[in-house]
Structure 1
Amino acid sequence: MIVRELYTNAFEATLESGLRILVEEVPQSRSVSAGVWIRGGSREDPEGLSGLAHFIEHLAFKGSATRDAKAISYEMDAVGGHLNAATAKESTFYYADLPSDGLATAMALLADLALHPRFDPSDIDLERNVILEEIRGHEDDPEQTAYDLFSQDVWQGQHPFARSVVGNRTAIESVGAADVLAFHRALYQPDNMVVVVCGGIDAKQVIRIAEDVFHTEPVQAVPVPTRTAPVFQPGVHHHKRPTGMSHIYIGTDAPIASHDDRIPLEVANSILGDGTSSRLFLNIREKRGLAYAVSSYVNSFSDGGIWLTYAGVAPENTSTVIALIRSEFERMLSEPIPQDELDLAKAKLRGHLILGLESNDHLASRLANAFLQHRNIQSPDDLLARLDAVTCKSAHAALATYLQLERISITTVGSAK
């Protein structure tokens, strides 16, 4: 086993199986957040089986060879913890938040969920109905539907990023036991997973527990599916829907998670549309009252990224708000960034980062995502130093690189075009 220090109180260990363990000790904490992340999300769903990664996440909670669903719930409740899971575009993760003295129980449960689900055919049929209801609820959410349609437009329906994480009815109805077993065997391999534990614990103790509960017998290697980088497609699209509000998504390219431009672009984005002091909020909501929700954010993946602006408006204001957003884009590009706006944006981002350090589950997510996306885990101090180093010039250079007005994609969903 190999153990190395990442930074003060943070460690990485590699078990003989290839499983990575990341630990951040928080001595003042009396609780812990523990999770297992799999480098496999909806982008790994096979063609025609959209939603399979999410389906497997659901099935894991139905039980294993040694625990049924009731036992899983009871054991977690007995240590005063909370157990849950989620599927994203690039990962699936199972996590628990609990008092520190229940860690061994939590890690045993997490190992069972990830490595030993029973996948009983009757469970598959039962959970299929649950997921179909989830899809119906998903379809009834206009903002979520708008985002899914935007994803299809911007990735042209060809890349896995164009698919909804929860899948579609046709795909879910066709999922069989063989599909579930094949996907689990391919993705839920020790060297394609990472266990992360943060909080009031000792790293050596965590590693000892992990060696015990995440022990796996050697199995024949199955190739992990290769990924194809997404290609951003500009365009203008309208989807007519009987909604009371018009949903606007405007996107452009953004850097991958590990790129040096990411933090300068985050600063530029904070000026544009992050929070109530941002230009979009002040100009469109506060000054004109044309939207309740208007914001922008950067979403970076392991091999691609997108810079998104969203607004929800009355249908008759759709064209006006799109024009105002575009005007703010043009202003960002044509004018230097004022020092006072830069300082405010950096203060906001610095605050977000520091406040996140007070949350064990935030610490765990930060470590896991950094590891899965680019295998480069930076200390909070290093990230703060990179943020402090952003200047008006570097933030403007980053936004000019990615905010190209001839290469934006606009999707509107609602009754008015």
Structure 2
Amino acid sequence: MSRLPRLLPAYTHRLNSGLRVILHPVPIADSATVDVWVQTGGRNEPPQWLGISHFLEHMVFKGSERLAPGELDRAIEGRGGITNAATGQDYTHYYMTVAAADLPETLPYLAEAVLRAGIPPEEVERERQVVLEEIRRAADDLGYITYQLLMETAYGEEHPYGRPVLGTPASLMGLTPELLRAYHRGWYRPEYMTVVVTGGIDPEQTLALVEKEFGGPASGPAWTRPPIPPQPHPQGILRRESTHARLEQARLKLAWPTVSLDAWEQVCGLELLAAVLGDGRTSRLVHLLREQRGWVRAIGCSSLVLKEGGLFCISAHLEVEDLPRVEATLLHEIEKLQQDGIGQAELERARRMLTHELLFSAESPSQLASLYGYYETLVGVERLQEYLELLQAFTPAQIRELAQQYLSPEAYVVALLKPAASNAAAASELQLACR
């Protein structure tokens, strides 16, 4: 335990306004990354405002009363930096990477855009078309389609996680500049935000700069999250299928409801269980179904971590005719693990993989900033070190108990995206011709 690396940031602060600040100097770095995290995303949206968090993310780059549209990008990219943003179910974040020497000149632009977004009506109409095109492209993205099919099946339309973060064309058309401004005022507030700065920085000077640019009080009342229904748990096997004309192989997802981020110890144990089953060529499912039997083109396991309840998921790409035996084999392997458990060597391999994945994801200032912001926004940055320590503490018996508790062979969700009939027939004919 004592030999574990220390990943916690060197400096954490909470300003009088409620803003959380995390600073991690990297003396050898010539760059600096600023990552601004806001505790709002799809989870906080009423159904009639679906997609408002993502639309607002776009509008932040359209400037403020003091910042013309595109001026933020010009200020940062003109100095050789980069900037971007992302929206999820539980967060929205905005980040930039610049030369460390340019931080004092560029941070005011980012703060102005994020805190005082102007949301001019003419820009709303222009950007609405951009987001509509993004929704159209997503509807042709096979990975996105399969993921959304799983979320809709597992959570249902009543739960926000069952709805698309991008929104729909219909919901997007109902979002007005006034609604966007009200949503911005209610959520983009110091107590709901974290600013992370990493790289070639001086902590004292950087804290003073962040406090100057981000430390002011909020205007107007805060918003509270709408009530969220409990995560659904299937009583049997819940299946949902769809087809796509461009698909050549089926995409299968099996999922089991698990825990929210509040159950942190179980979250860490489920990560280990996923690594044992389907992370790497020597994991159980990859070795058996892809390397030995060749029944799947790809297969993997993951534990989806969300604020209001997660999913343990097995994903595979395979031929349609192999679906029954692959699903049966997956269930058989889960039951086998539940009965016989895992060996110490399997657990040690999973531990090493997850530990190294975390360490490798924290090698650059931009990766560090994203990691700190994500943890602080969802569960608290102190959990980062605790994650490493818990990975070392789990026993084979505890992993087996988690499999018994959560992976019921009689109650789970199946989301299946299959090739359209004509596509499947053409693929079969091609295979026969090749033989």
TM-score band by shorter chain is over 0.9
SS of structure 2 residue aligned to 1:261 = helix
State the alpha-carbon separation in 2 of the partners of residues 33 and 230 from structure 1: 37
State the alpha-carbon separation in 2 of the partners of residues 379 and 309 from structure 1: 25
The two structures have a TM-score, normalised by structure 2, of 0.89
Deviates more, 1:137-146 or 1:19-28: 19-28
How far is 1:163 from its partner? 0.8
Contact 1:232 1:252 in 2 (8 A): no
Aligned pairs for 1:162-201 within 5 A: 162-201=162-201
Aligned pairs for 1:309-328 within 5 A: 309-328=314-333
Contact 1:244 1:315 in 2 (8 A): no
SS of structure 1 residue aligned to 2:277 = helix
Partner of residue 413, structure 2: 409
Contact 1:249 1:411 in 2 (8 A): yes
1:9–1:310 distance in 2 versus 1, CA, 3 Å: closer
How far is 1:29 from its partner? 2.5
SS of structure 2 residue aligned to 1:264 = helix
Contact 2:189 2:218 in 1 (8 A): no
1:302–1:9 distance in 2 versus 1, CA, 3 Å: closer
Write the deviation string for residues 300-345 of structure 1: whole angstroms up to 9, x where unpaired. 1223111111112222222222222222222221212011111111
Deviates more, 1:106-115 or 1:300-309: 106-115
Write the deviation string for residues 369-392 of structure 1: whole angstroms up to 9, x where unpaired. 222223352454x43332222221
The one of 354, 362, 372 aligned to 2:359: 354
Write the deviation string for residues 267-301 of structure 1: whole angstroms up to 9, x where unpaired. 11101011222222111211222222211111112
How far is 1:149 from its partner? 1.5
Matched, 1:216 2:219: no
Partner of residue 249, structure 2: 245
Deviates more, 1:287-296 or 1:203-212: 287-296
State the alpha-carbon separation in 2 of the partners of residues 342 and 406 from structure 1: 26
How far is 1:410 from its partner? 0.9
Contact 1:107 1:213 in 2 (8 A): yes
Partner of residue 85, structure 1: 85
State the alpha-carbon separation in 2 of the partners of residues 362 and 368 from structure 1: 10
Matched, 1:393 2:397: yes
Write the deviation string for residues 107-152 of structure 1: whole angstroms up to 9, x where unpaired. 2222122111110111111111111111111000122112111111
Partner of residue 255, structure 1: 259
The one of 295, 301, 304 aligned to 2:300: 295
1:379–1:165 distance in 2 versus 1, CA, 3 Å: closer
Write the deviation string for residues 193-252 of structure 1: whole angstroms up to 9, x where unpaired. 111112221221221011111143552323322452641332222224443321111111
SS of structure 1 residue aligned to 2:18 = coil
State the alpha-carbon separation in 2 of the partners of residues 345 and 9 from structure 1: 26
The one of 268, 271, 284 aligned to 2:276: 271
State the alpha-carbon separation in 1 of the partners of residues 391 and 28 from structure 2: 26
Deviates more, 1:390-399 or 1:50-59: 390-399
The two structures have a TM-score, normalised by structure 1, of 0.92
Contact 2:278 2:299 in 1 (8 A): yes
Partner of residue 147, structure 1: 147
Task: Give runs of ≥4 in structure 1 deviating > 6 Å.
Answer: none
Partner of residue 63, structure 1: 63
SS of structure 2 residue aligned to 1:292 = strand
How far is 1:165 from its partner? 1.1
Partner of residue 432, structure 2: none
How far is 1:78 from its partner? 3.2
AA of the residue aligned to 2:393: A
How far is 1:360 from its partner? 1.9
State the alpha-carbon separation in 2 of the partners of residues 207 and 100 from structure 1: 14
State the alpha-carbon separation in 2 of the partners of residues 42 and 332 from structure 1: 36
Identity of aligned residues (%): 28
SS of structure 1 residue aligned to 2:95 = strand
AA of the residue aligned to 2:333: E
Contact 1:229 1:303 in 2 (8 A): no
Contact 2:299 2:317 in 1 (8 A): yes
1:45–1:105 distance in 2 versus 1, CA, 3 Å: farther
State the alpha-carbon separation in 2 of the partners of residues 282 and 127 from structure 1: 47
State the alpha-carbon separation in 2 of the partners of residues 401 and 249 from structure 1: 20
Partner of residue 236, structure 1: 239
Matched, 1:285 2:294: no
How far is 1:7 from its partner? 8.1
SS of structure 2 residue aligned to 1:405 = coil
SS of structure 2 residue aligned to 1:406 = coil
Question: Alignment RMSD, CA only?
Answer: 2.1
State the alpha-carbon separation in 2 of the partners of residues 98 and 54 from structure 1: 24
Partner of residue 306, structure 1: 311
How many residues were matched structurally? 411
1:276–1:103 distance in 2 versus 1, CA, 3 Å: farther
Partner of residue 30, structure 1: 30
- Consecutive unaligned residues in structure 1, runs of 5 or more: 1-5
